[in-house]
Amino acid sequence: MDFVQTAPVLGNQYRDDRVLHAYLERALPREVHAAIAKDLDELGAHAATAWAAARARTPSEPVLTQWDAWGNRVDQIETTPVWRHGAELATRYGLVAAGHETTHGAHARTDQFARVYLHHIASEFYTCPLAMSDGAATALKASGNRTLIERALPHLLSRDSATLWLSGQWMTETVGGSDVGNTETTACRDADGRWCLHGRKWFTSAVTGEMALTLARPEGTDALALFYLETRDSGGRWNGICVDRLKDKLGTRELPSAEIRLDGALAEPVGELAHGVRLIAPMLNMTRTWNAVCALATMRRCLALAFEYARRRHAFGRALIEQPLHRATLASLQAELEAAFQLVFFVPELLGRVETGTASPEERALLRVLTPLAKLWTGKLAVRIASEACEAFGGAGYIENTGIPQLLRDAQVYPIWEGTTNVLALDVLRALGANGVDSVITAADALLGEAGDDRHGVRASLSAACDWLATHSAHRDALEAGARGLALTLARCFAAALLARHAAWAERERGDARARAALAIFAGHGLTRLSSSAMDAVATLADNDDP
């Protein structure tokens, strides 16, 4: 009989995730971890059943119907079956609400993003509008606009699917997504003094949502203002919005991303007309944080599947996981994931402190720099790891209904939306300029201090980054040309420092050497990869995956 390879099986993604478990044990008070463990366990179980269910059905995509049988313009979007349950799961597990609730104090954001991390892949990118809804809630709170806060926040933060609202973030136009200063959408007042928007938004990923925050230029001014609008009127009709078409995309195909026209859409300014970009900044910081957590979730899914498959699949007389080169390959990817995990989850940790007023000025400055750093580095890393995951499955990794190609196609969105790698690298330069490089280096140093002697060249790289900035600070073009290299170096330095801190804790508190092994591999480069200690680290990391 012909041999038939068994497919990889995904277990409960909470129970099986050693890195998440150890992190939550370290970062959360015992009672907070205990209080959220049941929800995380259910999300972990759902992740596994959703993966199996997706393999068993024909993929579906949203469909736009622009006209009804009688010639009326209707612009109805039928979403996928998973999306139709999106609100129910999002509210049951508080995927947005948990980040704003006060029960767990400064740990609210860590709780929330553990949930998002576990649910993202199963959600078919329903997390995209959830991210924007969280961003809208955060931006409205920061604006201090009481009317809009009272109107929208109970919906955005609802724990009831019947009252949940999703928000869009409509910025990108045909003239540009990075350079929103070119925005062509105009705002003018009608005879009743209400603001009406006219223009074309080129990418709107949550046109199915109930509201949006969007940029427009009030007529007769140079200002770019932030407006709040509701997509439908009280009778359920579109609020001066036409959906021109849905985008035909490389990935995220379940997510309805639309091109729309605003033709007199009624809207309200969120704050002072001149400060649109400043007012939308809190929203962007939130969506960038979601992006980093979702990129991390993709990496984790890729490696969970690749390790599982490597135990099932045999070549040259033994399981792939026993082939020294295959296990070293997977171990090096796992090391990148573990470092990225520590950096990404440090951002909600800081955010929680800032939002509850318990952060130091240094922590505030650090959050400003680490948010774009985490987003830009993990966006690129997710694509690399998803590509390696395809290869780790051999030919099967190229076959659609294994589910592996979709992970790669979907991953390619992380470096693009919410600011491309270059745009975020330039943002890091701005953040360093505003907060001073020294405070950032001091913060990294403090993290390393906690990590004992495990410094792995991080200090040398940080001081090289400082020297580079000092040398080029007067040469804007040279500074910009090197911004990506600088940002990636800083991201890896912080990730190494945070992983070192975690590794010291894991050894001390749990007698677990795997985080330290991950650090040795992550920080190793060039010929050090061939040292015997590097090979020992591979064995430590690849041989034992007990949570």
Ligand X SMILES: Cc1cc2nc3c(=O)[nH]c(=O)nc-3n(C[C@H](O)[C@H](O)[C@H](O)COP(=O)(O)OP(=O)(O)OC[C@H]3O[C@@H](n4cnc5c(N)ncnc54)[C@H](O)[C@@H]3O)c2cc1C
Q: Which residues bind ligand X (CB under 6 A)?
A: 168-172, 176-179, 203-205, 249, 252, 257, 413, 416-417, 419-420, 422-423, 426
Task: Please state the closest distance from residue 50 (CB atom) to ligand X, in A.
Answer: 21
DSSP state of 2: -
Q: Which is nearer to ligand X, 387 or 422 (CB)?
A: 422
Instruction: Based on DSSP, count helices (H) and strands (E) in the chain, helices before strands.
Output: 18, 11
How far is it, in rounded angstroms, from Cα 152 to Cα 204? 19
How far is it, in rounded angstroms, from Cα 425 to Cα 374? 11
Question: How many other C-beta atoms lie within 10 A of the C-beta of residue 166?
Answer: 25
Task: Please state the closest distance from residue 416 (CB atom) to ligand X, in A.
Answer: 5
3-state secondary structure of 190: coil
3-state secondary structure of 482: coil
3-state secondary structure of 314: strand
Task: Please state the closest distance from residue 419 (CB atom) to ligand X, in A.
Answer: 6
Q: Which is nearer to ligand X, 390 or 426 (CB)?
A: 426
How far is it, in rounded angstroms, from Cα 373 to Cα 151? 34
Could you tell me where the beta strands, DSSP code E, fall in 50-170?
Answer: 63-67, 73-78, 167-170
Task: Please state the closest distance from residue 173 (CB atom) to ligand X, in A.
Answer: 8
Contact (CB, 8 A) for 458 and 448: yes
Q: Which is nearer to ligand X, 127 or 172 (CB)?
A: 172
Report residue 498 as tokens: 């945070």
Give the residue from 413, 368, 349, 307 showing the smallest Cα distance to 28: 349
How far is it, in rounded angstroms, from Cα 302 to Cα 156? 31
Parallel, antiparallel, or unpaired for β 225-230 and 258-269? antiparallel
Task: Please state the closest distance from residue 260 (CB atom) to ligand X, in A.
Answer: 10
Q: Which is nearer to ligand X, 48 or 267 (CB)?
A: 267
Give the residue from 383, 500, 517, 491 showing the smallest Cα distance to 449: 500
Task: Please state the closest distance from residue 357 (CB atom) to ligand X, in A.
Answer: 31
| Residues, the chain | 547
Task: Please state the closest distance from residue 125 (CB atom) to ligand X, in A.
Answer: 9
How far is it, in rounded angstroms, from Cα 417 to Cα 255? 13
Task: Please state the closest distance from residue 259 (CB atom) to ligand X, in A.
Answer: 11
Q: Which is nearer to ligand X, 12 or 239 (CB)?
A: 239
Task: Please state the closest distance from residue 168 (CB atom) to ligand X, in A.
Answer: 6
How far is it, in rounded angstroms, from Cα 143 to Cα 148? 9
Q: Which is nearer to ligand X, 171 or 343 (CB)?
A: 171
CA distances from 207 to 71, 154, 294, 458 (A): 22, 20, 21, 44
- Torsion sign over Cα 496, 497, 499, 500: positive
Q: Which is nearer to ligand X, 37 or 423 (CB)?
A: 423
Q: Which residues pair with 107 in a beta bridge?
A: none
How far is it, in rounded angstroms, from Cα 49 to Cα 37? 18
Contact (CB, 8 A) for 430 and 496: no
Which residues does 500 contact at the CB level (< 8 Å), separation at least 6?
A: 447, 448, 451, 452, 454, 455, 456, 458, 519
Task: Please state the closest distance from residue 69 (CB atom) to ligand X, in A.
Answer: 31
Q: Which is nearer to ligand X, 387 or 420 (CB)?
A: 420
Contact (CB, 8 A) for 108 and 101: yes
Task: Please state the closest distance from residue 200 (CB atom) to ligand X, in A.
Answer: 12
How far is it, in rounded angstroms, from Cα 43 to Cα 41? 5
Task: Please state the closest distance from residue 279 (CB atom) to ligand X, in A.
Answer: 15
Q: Which is nearer to ligand X, 280 or 320 (CB)?
A: 280
- Torsion sign over Cα 472, 473, 475, 477: positive
Q: Which is nearer to ligand X, 352 or 419 (CB)?
A: 419
Q: Which is nearer to ligand X, 202 or 346 (CB)?
A: 202
Q: Which residue is nearest to ligand X (CB)?
A: 177
Q: Which is nearer to ligand X, 22 or 483 (CB)?
A: 483
Task: Please state the closest distance from residue 477 (CB atom) to ligand X, in A.
Answer: 11
Q: Which is nearer to ligand X, 180 or 469 (CB)?
A: 180
